[in-house]
Structure 1
């Protein structure tokens, strides 16, 4: 019965490891998928707090908004498209952060009524639609002078632009750096549209450098009212591609569910039911002597004297442990020491026979077997003498 339970535990261990391994792989795939989806979503949405006029973080724009208010400019913060359209008038300056959520039509509609427009994070689409098909031209190369006749830039002086842009048509470029300009301005009558990389100039952390603060106040404070619009994802009116579910016929989903249910039922019906092993009677009885002879012939054919010695030692240790009164949990070293104590023999010599000696040839293996037998005979004889009373165990005298 103990052997059956041991065999059941031995067989169940690899199965548990396999189940745990597949579970870990599935969990890892789910985590990787969730992280990839989160990263993909983050790449498509505006950075939270960036150039927010109410944010005091290093990337926020609260410092510039407070300076504008100190100069008598009213700042209205709009966090959705409807609020921005309601707040913008023909006398307002519309300040736009990342316009990714807006379609071309929505961008044109929200900027159409403003007197001035300032793009703080201009995209290629914004430059194409609002600044005469201008476009990005790379990254600036350090501090740059105004390099243009725009009064606001001349008063501000030198700045260090981040992204620079290529001026096309009637658009005027200021702050030449690298292959482009750090500021683009397009004036149509009394209306002005300006674009600059405010993330490198007008954030709370960078506003005090060079002429950044002056440039920001001059551009955004041209009118007495500023509508600072931060487009949100819910403002998007972009058409989304149809999903796989929308493209497939209506009967596909029920069919897949039916096939999955059938597969599950088949797996339950025909699958192996894992559980404890059950001991069954072998169809053929094999005598122990035949098994022993067969193993001995295999060891002899392989010439593995060391392995054969190990098998002899294992059996001898089991018998010796019973003779000295040790349980099955006793280690080989404990059995060897106990045998040496019972026989009053040298522990090193006994350990050499039971543990250490490694036979290399058949002759050495035969000698080891003889010594094991002699050791068992000596211990058995002494145990019999103690039982019959002809030999008393040694005791320490007080």
Structure 2
């Protein structure tokens, strides 16, 4: 019989949760790492897609609504295209020589800002004109709705439109300028207006349905775009950036209307909420036995600890306590000393009762309950084994 220093403590033989706990921790760490990796890849792909597509009519966007294809076509025809994203860069580019200015809708510019940025252009092509831009830059033009589906022939003698052939226009416009050339009639309006103001040509056309990457190859769209925009060796494509504005917002923000102490208090409350979540969300650790300051009945102590086990859902620790008690009582019944180990007590109990040694070892040492039902089943098996040992040792007495 081997000797151990402790009585039938099963911390080494009965309580093997360290390896499963480590395995569970490793699994959760691996899952978290995979989720972070997948999230990072998804964010990178989303950011790359957003960067490549950009905004509608952006000359550097390869998305369906961008106009990068048109820029490349112009460059293939020997036209230099400079993409600028602020008013100062646009003015500097236009100052180098005669150039065509391509401009989309510019809601972030004031009337004076729009007039200033377009003043130096030899030709002006508005590819997404709205009411304000038409009123400021052309002679009496205004929107007239949207053309119905279907290809429309030029219906005018403008060489650029005649060479391009039919297109399927989007928005159509009205003009009160008798000198302006109106092409692609549809209803009361026309899909293309070409006029002259202060010695420069002003073009109004809906590029959102004609010049985008998705629609450029349709009908005569590409030819019309090159004919209208490529009249000069330099094209300045002005695509306003988010910070390029001369408008001043005088409306107070929510931060201006709230007292200065509100933001720090909100941050403090958020930090307190996170701290409370971490505090209350921690996992219960192992129970620690301590000396009680008063004498408490054993039944109350047992019931209180049982409630703690149930609250922490620690079925394994509760099973260890049941096994410790059963091993101690069985060891006394079999006359084993306090130095007897759990395997020795298990083998002795099996030999005395005739129970299979493997079954006795599973009951007293090996089986690990996964839930409350397994714990109840284990407690009944321990009770039956202890009763069997008691009956084998003292057959003349009724067990307990």
Is 1:50–2:58 an aligned residue pair? yes
Match of 1:215 among 224, 237, 262: 224
1:106 CA displacement: 0.8
Distance 1:187 1:321 in 2: 110
- Residues 79 and 144 (structure 1), Cα distance of their counterparts in 2 relative to 1, 3 Å cut: same
Distance 2:266 2:234 in 1: 64
Name the structure with the higher helix share: 1
The equivalent residue for 2:372 is: none
Distance 2:84 2:254 in 1: 36
Is 1:151–2:159 an aligned residue pair? yes
Is 1:201–2:207 an aligned residue pair? no
Deviates more, 1:198-207 or 1:109-118: 198-207
**Structure 1-normalised TM-score?**
0.52
Aligned pairs for 1:154-173 within 5 A: 154-161=162-169, 163-170=170-177
The equivalent residue for 1:253 is: 260
- Secondary structure at the counterpart of residue 153 of structure 1: helix
The equivalent residue for 1:9 is: none
1:282 CA displacement: 5.0
- Residues 104 and 283 (structure 1), Cα distance of their counterparts in 2 relative to 1, 3 Å cut: same
Is 1:88–2:94 an aligned residue pair? yes
The answer on whether the counterparts of 1:183 and 1:195 sit within 8 Å (CA) in structure 2 is yes
Match of 1:232 among 238, 241, 258: 241
- Residues 209 and 179 (structure 1), Cα distance of their counterparts in 2 relative to 1, 3 Å cut: same
Distance 2:90 2:131 in 1: 22
- Residues 105 and 326 (structure 1), Cα distance of their counterparts in 2 relative to 1, 3 Å cut: farther
- Residues 340 and 122 (structure 1), Cα distance of their counterparts in 2 relative to 1, 3 Å cut: farther
1:66 CA displacement: 1.6
1:175 CA displacement: 3.3
**Structure 2-normalised TM-score?**
0.52
1:117 CA displacement: 1.1
Is 1:120–2:120 an aligned residue pair? no
Match of 1:285 among 274, 278, 295: 295
1:257 CA displacement: 5.6
1:237 CA displacement: 1.1
The answer on whether the counterparts of 1:142 and 1:177 sit within 8 Å (CA) in structure 2 is no
Distance 1:205 1:181 in 2: 22
Question: What's the C-alpha RMSD, in Å, of the aligned pairs?
Answer: 5.8
1:102 CA displacement: 2.4
Q: Unaligned stretches of 5+ in structure 2?
A: 1-8, 10-31, 33-38, 305-318, 368-379, 396-400
Distance 1:346 1:236 in 2: 88
Aligned residues: 299
Q: Unaligned stretches of 5+ in structure 1?
A: 3-23, 25-30, 296-309, 356-366, 383-398
The equivalent residue for 2:390 is: 377
Greater RCO (Cα-Cα under 8 Å, separation 6 or more) = 2
Aligned pairs for 1:306-345 within 5 A: 317-319=326-328, 327=342, 339-340=349-350, 342-345=352-355
Q: CA offsets, 1:328-364, max 9 Å, x none?
A: xx9xxxx99984455224689989x999xxxxxxxxx
Q: CA offsets, 1:29-87, max 9 Å, x none?
A: xx9xxx9xx99xx9xx97298224999x9741332322452xxx665554431232244
